[in-house]
Amino acid sequence: MAIELFRKDDHVCLMFAKLSDEDGEAVQSNQFLIVNKGTGCIIDPGGNLAYNELYLGMSQHFPPHKLAAILASHADPDIIASLDRWMTATSATVYISRIWERFAPHFCKPGKTVGRIVGIPDPGQRLRLGEGSASFDLIALPAHFLHSEGNFQFYDPVSRILFSGDLGASIGADMNPEQTITDLGPHLRRMEGFHRRYMVSNKIMRLWAGMVRQLDIRMIVPQHGAPMAGPAIKDFIDWAENLQCGIDLMGSAQYQIPE
Per-residue confidence of the chain (259 residues) as pLDDT tens digits? 799 999 999 999 999 998 776 566 788 999 999 999 999 999 999 999 999 999 999 999 999 999 999 999 999 999 999 999 999 999 999 999 999 999 999 999 999 999 999 999 999 999 999 999 999 999 999 999 999 999 999 999 999 999 999 999 999 888 899 999 999 999 999 999 999 999 999 999 999 999 999 999 999 999 999 999 999 999 999 999 999 999 999 999 999 999 9
Provide the whole-model pTM.
0.96
CA distances from 101 to 92, 104, 125, 229 (A): 15, 6, 16, 32
Secondary structure (3-state) at 226: coil
Q: How many Å apart are CA 146 and CA 135, to the nearest integer? A: 29
Tens digit of pLDDT for each residue in 174-184? 889 999 999 99
pLDDT digits (tens, 9 = 90+) for 27-73: 899 999 999 999 999 999 999 999 999 999 999 999 999 999 999 99
What is the enclosing helix (H) or strand (E) of 236?
A: helix 231-241
CA distances from 97 to 28, 39, 55, 122, 169 (A): 23, 23, 24, 7, 20
